Chains A and B, each alone.
Chain A
């Protein structure tokens, strides 16, 4: 008897939770394609097109539809591939270098202001509106907004745009991993002795 009651009570609880969840799923349905959003959130948003798509979101859509492998984004590099593999439950693969090399240091575009003729071509190329200027006036890159996509370089008729490493401040500096027993970190160069 007790067992029967227990089964009934548990059954009832399970049933009501099922109804509740079902209701919640309908009532609070997420609009759009959440998988694309999740993938897009992992991509670096450089918007460089090296993956072969028009930007990060189109690439995210292609991955979500199973049309593209996850190893085509050079700016994201290994970190993004691992995160994508994690999300999608697949094995990570090495970056497909045909799409470009991963650069360890973040780069930004710099316009040589003495050479710039103010043609506005780079403004039209920049996917994130990081270039500032007006017709026939010298242009300037807002370093904070530049994603380092290099799309502005080919259109420039006077070749005045170069890519330079983003200047790091000491606030961005990272502590080295300390030596630990057993297996040690591979990127363990001892340039700054840290003190506990």
Chain B
């Protein structure tokens, strides 16, 4: 394949089905330079900020922590550790309201920053001597997850993908949702970090080509990235400005635009040799590998009609959203509606929740009256705009009739919740909410049936075991009876090997005890979480045994 000179050739772009031209509202926040956020009074760090296995705290209440120190982790593979974003004291490890559509609480580590912002000594690794596995381990250790919003652990994603031949690495700088400009500001202010991260990914994945997709409403970001790309002289890497159509930043949509490939229903991109990474994730990879710094901060857009001075800030994770509102000059409306993410795919959050790795934008809108919803008029506009090529109207009818199996047949789980259908619906039906509701109902059904299948198997196993024990007992009794009968018939012929009766009784007791010790342990085929539970129980047990009665 030819090298960098290729970038001057015209690039053939493809179109995805549907989509919308939305008012982009990027100017409000993108015209101000990137700022550094001040430290809040408390950092509220949700223990689990990623998709995958939960973290456990690695610090205790009262501990002093330094910036960059690991404060939570798990031995599981699909997970990402959490690091202290500033120096201070751990004042609580407890349930706090978190940035989640439920508005509910979850376990958080609460740090009171001391204002010194002291950091651990960051040691950049010796990259020359790192194998691919080393690089993946370092990325995991740095707590890096997909910063485009999916927050899937990056190392796990890359590791799975690296097992397949990756033809094209796709770097997502589309940032298609209205109002959000954090990736734009990142590409303008630190393009070289993004490019350095891409270089590391290329070393891990060895793709034949790399394509960077950026929507053409970000000319400054495109120019800055192109310059950094030229300076870095990456081979077979090309920046492709793409038309501004929502949702071009959806993974499957961007793949279609850049390569023409369609990722089939229930399939993943790497199965056809493709891998997508967000530009923010690339910069975080560079921070981890070139500077030895874990992910402790992220760029957040604070914007909307409801704040006075919209802009972008580099914010320590765990910063309460109300602090971000203050940074942006406070509310400018009476009834603000705070949303994490954009107007299309975001969800309402509580202002006392802390920033998480997924939090690209805090959007404050005016909580106006929603137009009243009417019954579906079967106009079919939703079908025209659906980028996943679904039949939103069918999904609506099946969803509201609670015929979830039908909804699944109509590929409910391919819905990316982009909100295009709801945006054009003349009846103002809350379609996306209905789909989210239907999906969560189906997921719960699946969990239930998984659990009952397990219970059935365990029950059957137990029945079989009891039957076997009964049969064995029966067999023993029969043998004993036979032996007894034999003994009676030939009382004189005592075998020489027989022990003296007292000794034999003692042996029997010993044997029975030994059997009792091992019999009731149901510890086969346990999940790691269960094993942990058991270990904890054993530990408590040991402690109790060491108590006064031992």
Contact = CB atoms under 8 A, between A and B. Distances in A.
A45 B520 contact: no
A132 B533 CA distance: 11
A132 B534 contact: yes
B103 interface: yes
Contacts, number: 148
Given A175-B440, A180-B434, A196 B373 contact: no
A181 B422 contact: no
A96 interface: no
Contact of B101 (A55, A128, A131, A192): A192
Interface string A169-182: 11011111111111
Interface in A149-196: 169-170, 172-182, 191-196
Given A138-B544, A173-B102, A180-B373, A194 B433 contact: yes
Contacts of B104: 170, 173, 192
Nearest to A120: B520
A109 interface: no
Contacts of B440: 173-175
A44 interface: yes
Interface in B513-550: 513, 516-523, 526-527, 529-530, 533-534, 537, 540-541, 544
A128 B520 contact: no
B102 A143 contact: no
Contacts of A142: 522, 526, 530, 533-534
B374 A181 contact: yes
A193 B102 CA distance: 8
Nearest to A143: B533
Interface stretch (B68-76, B307-315, B455-463): B455-463
Nearest to B540: A113
Nearest to A182: B375
Interface in B95-114: 98, 100-104, 106
Q: Is the interface of A mostly helix, strand, loop or mixed?
A: loop
B537 A140 contact: yes
A128 B427 CA distance: 51
Nearest to B466: A124
A45 B541 contact: no
B473 interface: no
Interface in B485-539: 513, 516-523, 526-527, 529-530, 533-534, 537
A180 B227 CA distance: 51
Given A128-B462, A196-B433, A135 B516 contact: yes
Contacts of B456: 40, 45, 56-57
B11 interface: no
In the A-B complex, list the 5 residue pairs whose CB atoms are closest, starting with the nearest. A178-B433, A45-B452, A178-B430, A45-B455, A129-B522
18 contacts: A45-B456, A46-B455, A56-B456, A113-B540, A123-B520, A127-B459, A128-B455, A129-B461, A132-B537, A144-B527, A145-B458, A169-B54, A173-B440, A176-B437, A178-B430, A180-B429, A180-B434, A195-B347
Interface of B: 54, 98, 100-104, 106, 337, 339, 346-348, 373-375, 400, 419, 422, 427, 429-434, 436-437, 439-441, 444, 447-448, 451-456, 458-459, 461-462, 513, 516-523, 526-527, 529-530, 533-534, 537, 540-541, 544
Given A144-B530, A176-B437, A194-B433, 13 more contacts: A40-B456, A47-B459, A56-B456, A56-B459, A113-B541, A127-B462, A142-B534, A170-B98, A172-B444, A173-B101, A175-B439, A178-B433, A192-B102
